[in-house]
Amino acid sequence: MIRALSIIQPWAWLIVHGHKGIENRSWGPPSWMLDKRIIIHASAKKSRDEFAAATQIAEPLGIQLPEIDSLSYGAAIGSAILDGVIESSTNPWFFGPFGWRFNSPIVFTKPIPMRGALGLWKYPGDHPTISA
């Protein structure tokens, strides 16, 4: 069974589009999740503060975020492989205390509306249709 992680936008968009390889959490992932593909779920919460914080990091890196209202909310939007966890880094996306490292992101052809959950949760069904 595949697991999912709910992430506030635009951080979720940045991960599935390959711009942000680190997701910050207050807890480390279980070791059995390493090297596994995780569904990235964009939480239903729309936060202008989170959008502003992401923009401050993205713009100097040459990353143009979509408009806040054009992002998907409350939906599975893609997936990525969890390949490790770090506790310190000079990477601009890291602010800890734990940084979940993601690689090989995939954007779903269409967002899949669903409720998210806290922590790593069981994704209902198989891996959705993807676009590479």
pTM exceeding 0.95: no
pLDDT digits (tens, 9 = 90+) for 53-84: 999 999 999 999 999 999 999 999 999 999 99
The count of structural domains within the chain is 1
Structural domain including 61 reads: 3-131
pLDDT digits (tens, 9 = 90+) for 11-24: 999 999 999 999 99
- What residues have CB less than 8 Å from 51, skipping those under 6 apart? 9, 10, 65, 68
Give 127's pLDDT tier (boundaries 50, 70, 90). Answer: low
pLDDT digits (tens, 9 = 90+) for 78-110: 999 999 999 999 999 999 999 999 999 999 999
CATH of the domain at 99: 2.30.130.30
- Residue 69 CA to residue 51 CA, distance in Å, equals 11
Can you tell me the mean pLDDT for 106-122? 95
